[in-house]
Amino acid sequence: MMRAMDDGDAPIPRRTVVGYALGSVGTGGFGTLPGLVLAYYLTDTVGVAAGVAGLVVTVPKIWDVVIDPFIGARSDASAARHGSRRRFLLAGALTLPVLFAAVFAAPGALDGPWAAAWVVVTFIAAATAFSLFQVPYIALPAEIAPTYAARTRLLAPRIAVLAVAILAFGAGGPLVRDAAGGGRAGYAVMGVVCGVVIGLGMLAAWWTAPRHAVVESASVAPDPQRRGDAFRAGIAALRELPAFRALLSTFVLQALATGAMLAAAQYVATYTLGDEGAVTYLFVALVAPALLVMPLATRLAGRIGKQRALVGASALFAACALSLLFLRGAAGGWVYVPVALAGVAYAGMQLYPLAMLPDVAAVDARTRGTDRAGVLGGVWTAGETAGLALGPTLVLGLLAVTGFVSRTGDDVAAQPGSALTGIVVAFSLLPAVLVALSLVPLARYRLTADVVDRRTEVPA
């Protein structure tokens, strides 16, 4: 397996920690803003029916499932050949900003199905560029940090920056849109501004990534020449690694939950709270607490272990989301309290799985003698992006069956009572159930600190 450090628990260079953390500006922006506003952009700006909009946000993620394992396997081979994964990081950083801006720049002559086609094509291209960066980025912690505890310390600043990025893009993106006049022009300006910021964060991670990592005893899987080879490598990793299956299943279900809540937030702001701009305050309430509790979350993992800490965070999130069902009959400012408590839990739901993934990669490389960190990162990224995209798909499907009325003008459309109920359910009950279900596979995860740091054998 490749590592950028000697063994032991020596401090990771500050430059590496800071640069790696800044990469989350890119991942936070791409993961958050489309999930928050793309569905709303389709239904309430370019006149796409809710059912069709659901297909629009889903199709690019089907492509992700195909391309991400291929990129992961190629990055493994490139890392073995050139000593780092920086080439892939740079390719994504340079191409994503332009493609991200294009997603929200449908020409004025296009609306309805034609606007949907534009978004599908540009979103597929943007998702591919994002994968070029994100897949090797996910693989880096197993190479940068050599121990169970060091990986949590490396990931904590990254999740803190991720929280800032989510807050900045989730709250700032709509503000930029509105300041630019809203409508198509507002979305186009938002896409350009946010695309540039995303690219700068990705470039910081590329610049500070290990240039000459040392290849240790583990070999690297063969470089796949076809996507089918890489896809089979990803399936093999899922089949052979029970801990990876359990962790990935947990994370995908939680990504579905957060994706659904993000997508429903704008609808809740507009149709439940009666203020389109309230989505900014919902975002602040959800994400800001993560900045405050990150040091506590890191210490909690050190005290009780990452898995138990993740169980606690998930249970808290599910309980808070479920309480939001009362919005249907009593909408008001009280909503920000449970949303803020869910934000405390959200910090752990981001930190712990991402700190557990490099543990899986390290144990796999040590046990099997093959470095598959890129393959694991590819499968992980495919699952994460699919979950975040399918969350909005579930929301749009729920809105479609409950009779939601789309619009193309500035006036808010009157909604039937069934649609108003569907909006609240999408924001509360749906994410609560998904997070509760995620605890089932999490119970099968077996990699403790003793196993990861070679103090006990890997469990069967």
Calculate mean pLDDT across residues 392-402. 88
Helix (H, G, I), strand (E, B) or coil at 215: strand
Q: Tokens standing for 179?
A: 């300041």
Q: Are 20 and 160 in contact (CB under 8 A)?
A: no
Percentage with pLDDT > 90 across the chain: 33
Q: Tokens standing for 233?
A: 């490598």
CA-to-CA dists, residue 254 to 56, 193, 345, 346, 436, angstroms: 22, 29, 12, 10, 9
| 57 pLDDT tier (thresholds 50, 70, 90) | confident
pLDDT at 12: 78
Q: Are 331 and 143 in contact (CB under 8 A)?
A: no
b/e burial code for range 40-50 (CB count within 10 A of at least 16 → b) = bbbbbbbbbbb
**Residue type present at position 241:** L
Residue that wins the pLDDT comparison between 60 and 98? 98
pLDDT at 456: 59
Residue that wins the pLDDT comparison between 228 and 359? 359
Q: What is the DSSP letter of 327?
A: G
- pLDDT tens track for 205-245: 999 887 765 444 444 445 454 545 666 777 888 888 899 99
Evaluated on CA atoms 364, 306, 391, 102, the torsion sign reads negative
pLDDT at 231: 66
Residue that wins the pLDDT comparison between 194 and 446? 194
Calculate mean pLDDT across residues 247-271. 90
- pLDDT tens track for 85-112: 889 999 999 999 999 999 999 988 888 8
Task: Give the span between the Cα atoms of 256 and 435, in whole angstroms.
Answer: 9
Q: Are 29 and 163 in contact (CB under 8 A)?
A: no
Give yes or no for residue 137 having a pLDDT over 60.
yes
- pLDDT tens track for 406-459: 765 666 778 888 999 999 999 999 999 999 999 999 999 988 887 787 765 555
Calculate mean pLDDT across residues 62-84. 79
Give yes or no for residue 72 having a pLDDT over 70.
yes
Q: What is the DSSP letter of 83?
A: S
Task: Give the span between the Cα atoms of 91 and 194, in whole angstroms.
Answer: 18
pTM, 2 dp: 0.72
Give yes or no for residue 10 having a pLDDT over 80.
no
Residue that wins the pLDDT comparison between 180 and 70? 180
pLDDT at 214: 44
Q: Tokens standing for 190?
A: 């938002």
| 197 pLDDT tier (thresholds 50, 70, 90) | very high
Closest CA to 400 of 54, 46, 23, 29: 54
Task: Give the span between the Cα atoms of 53 and 397, in whole angstroms.
Answer: 9
Extended strands (E) in 61-109: none
Give yes or no for residue 191 having a pLDDT over 80.
yes
φ, ψ of residue 214 in degrees (nearest 5): -90, 130
Q: Tokens standing for 300?
A: 């909690």
pLDDT at 4: 40
Q: Tokens standing for 266?
A: 């704008």
CATH of domain 8-208+222-452: 1.20.1250.20
| 182 pLDDT tier (thresholds 50, 70, 90) | confident
pLDDT at 75: 83
pLDDT at 122: 96
The number of residues making up the chain comes to 460
Give yes or no for residue 334 having a pLDDT over 90.
yes
pLDDT at 393: 82
Q: Are 361 and 139 in contact (CB under 8 A)?
A: yes
Q: Tokens standing for 56?
A: 């629009």
pLDDT at 457: 59
pLDDT at 409: 61
Domain ranges of the chain: 8-208+222-452
- pLDDT tens track for 318-328: 999 999 999 99
Calculate mean pLDDT across residues 256-285. 86
Q: Are 347 and 290 in contact (CB under 8 A)?
A: yes
pLDDT at 422: 93
